[in-house]
Chain A
């Protein structure tokens, strides 16, 4: 019998990428202040990137996995920290609008992720976490390929439990 929760941070990150892509497909996106919809679907990546195909991008960067022993023999509690980085760079709008866009994008992603705290598999409904949520959201700047992007970094925290020889 396979243990229900994955211990691999890659699985957790892939679920996050899937959820963000599906969220973006379904949302009437409001990233541009003039109401135009931005096609972000191709701008979602596993891991941070140096070049982006469009004016906005979302990267899911694995950061940390912490395993501690629990009372039951061989049982461990796994705490995952994953960064979700959002970038926006628009030359034809003011810095204020770009700042708002990136912060709105970050909040929307946070909102989509919080619709399912267990990061269930969309097909089988198998949960990946006991619970997971965005713990912190920081606004900032990032230079990518000599271009200054307005950015936001969200810290996603997830927790599950696995038995040691299995996962």
Chain B
């Protein structure tokens, strides 16, 4: 498969997850029938911006719903190892991942400041308002959860991925707010988790099972007990779509451009 002819300035941004896959199956500057071998690296064609974009959009993977038992669910993360390296000999993505985590930290801080994005979190119950003597800000009382959620240290960063897999035990209640507790929707999630396949826990199935629970066609024994106390879902650690995904992709594109430039493969410098 050949590279596309010419630059593609209108390549849509933020579409990596949704359709644009790596169409550059052959490494750019690879050995041709009469050209030098790839290993010699005597000649490499300059990279086009479109190639870099396609490489990033096709290879950067965002995990928004990664159920990891009771630890913290959903966890979020991003995996960069599938990025088409375009012959740039990239081995680790720590630099753009760190920049992406810094960006996400600010995004999470905005979630707290705006009390839920894009939809506002459900207001506190009358009982909660009475206990804390205020109805706002939601999820911020001592500020400890917000401080932890917007700290760099809760991220696990490897050379190819960055993720939040759990909250520290002293802010255990953050998990309840992130995922909700006791609602029929929560029971539906628990039922789907019990099938043992995390892929089953998707919004479509959650909706179907919730409807079945409402209709009484599924029969978990302790439904009444499990739904006695309800904490609504107020997700504060989330990728905002499409802005966060686009911004992170842009971080990677800029980083790869800089790398291409550093090895003399800038498309502007022939």
Interface string of A117-128 (1 = CB under 8 A from B): 000111110100
Could you tell me if B191 and A22 are in contact, using CB atoms closer than 8 angstroms? yes
Which of B187, B195, B221, B226 contacts A22, CB < 8 Å?
A: B195
Per-residue B-contact encoding for A19-45, CB less than 8 Å = 1, 0 else: 001110110000000000000010000
Query: Contact mask B176-200 → A, CB, 8 Å, 1/0?
Result: 0000000000010011101111011
Query: Which of B28-36, B204-212, B245-253, B259-267 lies at the binding interface?
Result: B204-212
Do the beta carbons of A26 and B222 come within 8 Å of each other?
Answer: no
Task: Identify which of A15, A25, A124 contacts B222 (C-beta below 8 A).
Answer: A124
Contacts between chains A and B (CB distance < 8 A), count: 55
> Which residues from chain A contact B205 at a C-beta distance below 8 Å?
25-26
Q: Indicate whether A18 sits within 8 Å of B192 (C-beta atoms), given known contacts A25-B205, A25-B208, A26-B200.
A: no
* Min C-beta distance of B182 to chain A, whole Å: 11
B interface, by DSSP: helix, strand, loop or mixed? helix
Contact mask for chain B residues 203-240; partner A; CB cutoff 8 A; 1 contact, 0 none: 00100110010000111111100100000000000000
Q: Residue of B at shortest CB range from A26?
A: B200
A22 to B217, CA, bound (A): 12
The complex places the Cα of A110 from the Cα of B192 at a distance, in Å, of 18
A115 to B194, CA, bound (A): 11
Range class of the A interface residue count = 10 to 19
In the complex, the answer to whether B199 meets A41 with C-beta atoms within 8 Å is: no
Complex CA distance for A96 and B65, rounded to whole angstroms: 41
Which B residues lie within 8 Å of A21 (CB)? 212, 217-218
* B220 and A18 contact, CB distance less than 8 A: yes
Instruction: Please give 9 more A-B residue pairs, beta carbons under 8 A apart, in addition to A15-B219, A26-B195, A122-B190.
Output: A21-B217, A22-B195, A26-B200, A120-B194, A122-B191, A122-B220, A123-B226, A124-B220, A126-B221
